[in-house]
Every structure is written in C-alpha cells, then in structure tokens.
Amino acid sequence: MTENNTKGERPGFFRRVWNFFTRPAVAIAAGTLLLAGVVLGVLFWGGFNWAMEMTNNEEFCISCHEMRDNVYAEYEGTVHQSNSSGVRATCPDCHVPKEWGPKVVRKIQASYELYGHFITGVIDTPEKFDAHRLDMATSVWTAMKKTDSRECRNCHDFEFMDFTLQENRAAQNHQAALDQGKTCIDCHQGIAHRLPEDYLNAYKDVAARVEGR
Amino acid sequence: MTKKPLISALTATALLAAGLAFAQSAASPVESLRGAQVDEQVAVEDVFHQDEKRFARSYRQQPPLVPHSIDQYQIDLKANRCLSCHDWTNAGERNAPTLSMTHYMDRNGAQLDHVAGTRWFCNQCHVPQADAPALVENTFESSGKN
C-alpha cells in the first residue's frame, strides 16, 4: 500500500481523492470553480429546503395510516379544523417550529420516529396507538412546556386577545395565566386530539419536571 | 303435554303480529332522516346562542344547568375534561364550583375519593341552555316560589 507514493507510479484511489480536494486546481479557472460552487450550493440548499417543505404539510403528515386513522380523525371537526372564521391550524402549525434551527432539530427527531413506523411498528394498530399515546403526549407536552407553547404563540398572543370579548372563564383564567406566568398547554391539553387515561396526573408530572419542582 | 298446543298458539299469534307490523311499515312511505327529498332545498336552521348565566334551580333536586360552553370537552371512557376543573382536587386552583358530595357516592352509598362511576357522564344530567324556542309544548311549572 505504501508503495503508492513511490515516484513514477500512479497514486492509489484514496490518495487521488485526497489530492483532488487539497491541491489547488490547475486546469480550471478560479472564477469557474467559484461559480460552480455557488450553483451547487444553491442547488443543495434549495433541495434541502424543498425537502423540508415537502415534509411540512398536512398531506405528508397524514400519508401514513398511523396519523390518518388516529390523530387526524380526531382532529377533524375540532375548532382548529373547522370554525366560524375559516382559519385553520394544520399539523405542522402546532408540531413543527417556525424558526430554522429548532425546525431542523425537530425534523431530525422525526426521522428517528420513522424508525418506529418502518421497523418496530410500535403504533401500527389503533390499540397499540392508544397504549402508546400517553408517552407520545408526554413528549409533546414536555416540548411545549419548555418552549412556553411557542407553536401556539405563532398564531395566538395574549397581547392581542380582547379579554372582554371572551367567555368569563376564559378572561379570568387568561388574566391569571399572565399574572402567574402560566403557558397555554398548562390549561389546554387535548386541544386537537383525544386524551388518554390519567392524562391530568401525567401532565402535572411534566409541569413539575420542567418547572424543576 | 298440554303445553305444546299453547306454545304453538302463542308462536302463531306472535308471528301474525310481527307480520302485520311489517306490512304496516312497508305501507307507509320511507322517510329520510333529513325529512325531505334528496333534491329538495332545506333551509339552514337558525343559530341560537347559549345562555351563559348561573341559573336558579326550578326544583330542589335539579342538576344545575351548565353556564358555560361544553362542546370542547372530552367525556369518554378514558378521560373527563370537566373533572380538570370541577373535581375536588382541582376546583380550588381552577376557581370552579366543587362537585357536591353526591358525586362521590357510589350506588351502595359508600363515600369515594374519586368521582363515582354513576356520575362520570356529566352531560347525562347537566346540560347547557340556549335561547331557542321550545321544541314541544311544555307546561312545566317551577316548584320554587319564583
């Protein structure tokens, strides 16, 4: 192997690749090279973001039966799918962060979750889905509690809520939430899906953990 | 063996009755659930809004009417959202009226720490009220003085 470097002989494959990346190019003009780099960069970046977008809509989310038959079916008819104003919140609106960094992190987590779909099939029947739901809900709650319900706040904001137009209970609770620093998910679990058994105790545990109590 | 003719007679009568009932239902035209032909326009019903005030009870044992929206609350075998505010463990924190003791008593009269199974489906007894006209004539009079 080490003979590869002896004079006169053609370097080995790995050596040639190494040279290709480390030696200055002689045959191509620097300008051309730069341009090619830019074009390739744009293509990759565009492709990456395209892939992010393609996997960031409701159609994609419910293309697997686990989501379509369980959470999507439950979400149908809830206030976020059908309401007087006709504004809708789709799966990624609540489940995928808008900012780039957290979004990429969430997408990487999602690829791991696909492992469950293709390999272990942890939730591939409604019964298994239900058995697993408390775990899944717990991880969603934990994320929301940690980010101060960031995804809800993409659309909702206490600043622009007219408490006088709300139902008494809502106005009182929201004022209390502002005063006590509570976040949306503290009171609004099960806003889009069915809740599992013993959900409230599980949520209280999540809240205690995140608040470090 | 005197029972046999009796049984046959009974069976025959039952069959006859069933046959008559069937013939009658076949004679009257089938009515669709929406009560109109497929190509008939049905006007959308008026929307009536829910009354949102605390109601006085019209008789002593009346389950109080619900003074707030309830559409959004899940009540099924797994979860009961009403309890997240009204159960004695949460009511103080959520500033809601606590369930009265009758809700914690099972059918044998034993006192429980959690809501009794017979009281799980709240909207069996508690309903909201809308400002809609009565569906059927109603001569009910409150047994209260008012």
Give the global pTM. 0.84
Give yes or no: residues A43 and A98 share one domain: no
**Is the CA virtual torsion A199, A201, A202, A207 positive or negative?**
positive
Chosen for mutation from B51, B68, B69, B74 (greatest number of chain A CBs closer than 10 Å) is: B74
Nearest-5° angle of CA A182, CA A187, CA A193?
Answer: 135
Give yes or no: residues A177 and A151 share one domain: yes
Give yes or no: residues A42 and A117 share one domain: no
Give yes or no: residues A39 and A131 share one domain: no
Q: How many CB pairs under 8 A join A and B?
A: 34
Give yes or no: residues A176 and A99 share one domain: yes
**What's the number of CA atoms in the CB half-sphere (13 Å) around residue A171?**
8
Give yes or no: residues A181 and A104 share one domain: yes
| Beta carbons of A167 and B72 less than 8 Å apart | no
Which residue is it, tokens 């008559």? Answer: B20
**What's the number of CA atoms in the CB half-sphere (13 Å) around residue A19?**
9
Q: Is A7 a member of any domain?
A: no
Give yes or no: residues A70 and A26 share one domain: no
Q: Is A190 on the interface with B (CB under 8 A)?
A: yes
Give yes or no: residues A25 and A83 share one domain: no
Nearest CA in chain B to A194: B74
* Domains of chain B by start residue, with CATH: 50-134 (1.10.1130.10)
* Residue among B69, B72, B79 whose CB faces A199 most closely: B79
Give yes or no: residues A113 and A39 share one domain: no
Give yes or no: residues A96 and A201 share one domain: yes
Give yes or no: residues A97 and A194 share one domain: yes
| Per-residue model confidence as pLDDT tens for chain A (213 residues) | 444 444 557 788 888 888 878 887 667 788 888 999 999 999 998 888 888 888 888 899 899 888 999 999 999 999 999 998 999 999 999 999 988 889 989 988 888 888 877 888 888 899 999 999 999 999 999 999 999 999 999 999 999 999 999 988 999 999 999 999 999 999 999 999 999 999 999 999 999 999 886
List the domain range (segments joined by +) for residue A29: 15-54
Running DSSP on this structure, what letter comes out for residue A194?
P
Q: Is B74 on the interface with A (CB under 8 A)?
A: yes
How distant is the Cα of A107 from the closest Cα of chain B, in angstroms? 30
Residues of A in contact with B96 (CB under 8 A): 169
* Residue among A172, A176, A195 whose CB faces B74 most closely: A195
Whole-angstrom distance, CA of residue A69 vs CA of residue A193: 12
**B92 C-beta neighbours (distance < 10 Å), count:** 9
Whole-angstrom distance, CA of residue A117 vs CA of residue A122: 7
Give yes or no: residues A123 and A68 share one domain: yes
Number of domains observed in the structure of chain A: 2
